Amino acid sequence: MRQIDVHQLADDARFRGFHALVLFWCALIIIFDGYDLAVAGIALPSIMKDMGVNPTSAGFMVSSALFGMMFGAVFLGTIADRIGRRRAIAICILLFSVFTAVAGLTSDPVMFSVTRFLAGLGIGGVMPNVVAQMTEYSPRRMRSTMVTLMFSGYSIGGMLAALLGKGLIERFGWQSVFIAAGLPILLLPAILKWMPESMPYLIRTGRIPALKNIVSRIEPGYVPEESDRFALPGEDVAHAPPIGKLFTDGRGFSTAMLWIAFFMCLFMVYALSSWLTKLMANAGHSLGSALTFVLVLNFGAMIGAIGGGWMADRFNIKYVLIAMYALAAISISLLGFKVPTWALFMLVGLAGASTIGTQIVTYAFTGQFYPMAVRATGIGWASGVGRSGAILAPIVIGLLVSMALPLQQNFMAIAVPGVIAVLAVSLINQRRSDAAVGNDTADRALAETA
């Protein structure tokens, strides 16, 4: 009888077609997610004009989706460890595709906000699930790179929204970019068929043939035998509530610091995503030029995510994060000052790299911090708590815009959270992450000798 350690096998695997397939589906889902999230900021000036709302009310309208994302990240991130990650991802896609499209059919601020809240449930819920999925199936030596490469799809979605927005909004109105968001539901059957399920979930539910098929795709040299046994690590069979495990084994304080880092990072991300177009328009740039800044922001985010992931696999990921948060504070602060156009584009690109890109690296760090059994729960709670920062950002910046403050003060308000995030990440005890991995390995060894 063979005792198969699937976690170790996944950690030590070489990159194969199976990994490329998981990366493809997760990245594609994140592209859809990024589009659905960015589309409100792209269309915001047109929506304000069409519905006759002021900046403060517009901030609340944008925040309705972010409020939904907070609940979606916590609820759909947590239940995925119980109902299966593939099913949870499908539910999320259905939610954000349908209700973003429905938002394009509304004509008043209240109904728009309601539909965006419902879409936000799916947008927020899909993030922790795809991060957990990619983390579980990535070889250890390139895990951060694969997670951040996957998450660069978020920036591609944002750029796609900006590119479509420039043409569609002027020709068909702001509603068209929302209605286009309903197309991803056509891919649901393919995702349910080709996306692999989480290995701990398959073991817990006794779906051993499906697990053997996945193991043989991760390691082609594996030949399934009837007597093969797959033991769960001690962390996976513990009966403590999943949320409670985030605070055990000395992880409590670091969990709180992760939540603060998420809050600050998401405040910066959604302040820029929601108001960059409007702030640049207020500074005298045309709508087309302001949308170009959104393209540069998301292009910088993609470079920052991939570059940050590459550095995180070669250097200490904690210190990479500290440097990226510091860069965010500096680059955003400088956006409010009058500089040459080429320098302004460079600063916007750096802001994208060090906010959206840093968010993605923070997801990768969180995914590696927690044991596999509570990975989606840990990411979901960090993301969910952090969403309160995302909710506040459009409202706070909207209030500042309505006060007609100098441009520098608006951008300084967006930059301050970067400084706080530097302090929070600095206080995270990364050894607790290493201890979790060590306990995982020790528990598996005990299971094998039992």
Given a cut of 90, is residue 423 above it in pLDDT?
A: yes
| Euclidean distance between CA atoms 369 and 354, whole angstroms | 21
Q: Is the pLDDT of residue 383 over 50?
A: yes
| pLDDT over 80 at 58, yes or no | no
Cβ neighbours of residue 24 closer than 8 Å, sequence gap 6 or more = none
Helix-strand-coil split of the chain, %, nearest 5: 85, 0, 15
Alpha carbons 67 and 273: distance in angstroms, whole number: 15
Q: Tens digit of pLDDT for each residue in 37-56?
A: 778 777 777 788 878 877 77
Q: Indicate the pLDDT class of residue 434, thresholds 50, 70 and 90.
A: very low
Report pLDDT for 261: 92
pLDDT of 263: 92
User: Do 318 and 428 contact (CB within 8 A), yes or no?
Assistant: yes
pLDDT at 448: 39
Q: 128-154: per-residue pLDDT in tens?
A: 788 888 888 888 788 777 887 887 787
Question: Tell me, which fold does domain 3-449 have in CATH?
Answer: Growth Hormone; Chain: A; (1.20.1250)
The reported pLDDT for the residue numbered 420 is 94
Cα 304 from chain centre? 14
Alpha helices in 104-174 (DSSP H): 109-137, 143-172
Question: What mean pLDDT is predicted for residues 412-432?
Answer: 85
To the nearest whole percent, how much of the chain has pLDDT over 90?
8
At 289 the pLDDT is 65
The answer to whether the beta carbons of residues 205 and 31 sit under 8 Å apart is no
Q: Determine the pLDDT at residue 335.
A: 81
Do residues 133 and 198 touch, judged by C-beta distance below 8 A?
yes
Model pLDDT, residue 325: 92
- Span 105-118, pLDDT tens digits: 888 888 888 998 99
Name the pLDDT band for 438 (thresholds 50, 70, 90). very low
pLDDT at 358: 86
- Tens of pLDDT, residues 262-283: 999 989 988 887 777 677 766 6
pLDDT band at 422 (very low <50, low <70, confident <90, very high): very high
Predicted pLDDT at 227: 67
Closest CA relative to residue 26, chosen from 159, 147, 144 = 147
Amino acid at site 158: G
For tokens 């970067």, name the residue: 418
pLDDT digits (tens, 9 = 90+) for 219-230: 787 776 776 677
- Cα dihedral 266, 344, 58, 262, rounded to 10, equals 0
Question: 449 pLDDT band (50/70/90 cuts)?
Answer: very low
Mean pLDDT calculated for residue range 381-394: 80
Question: pLDDT tens for residues 152-194?
Answer: 787 788 778 877 777 777 788 788 888 888 888 888 899 888 8
What value does the mean pLDDT of the chain take?
Answer: 79
Question: pLDDT value at position 421?
Answer: 92
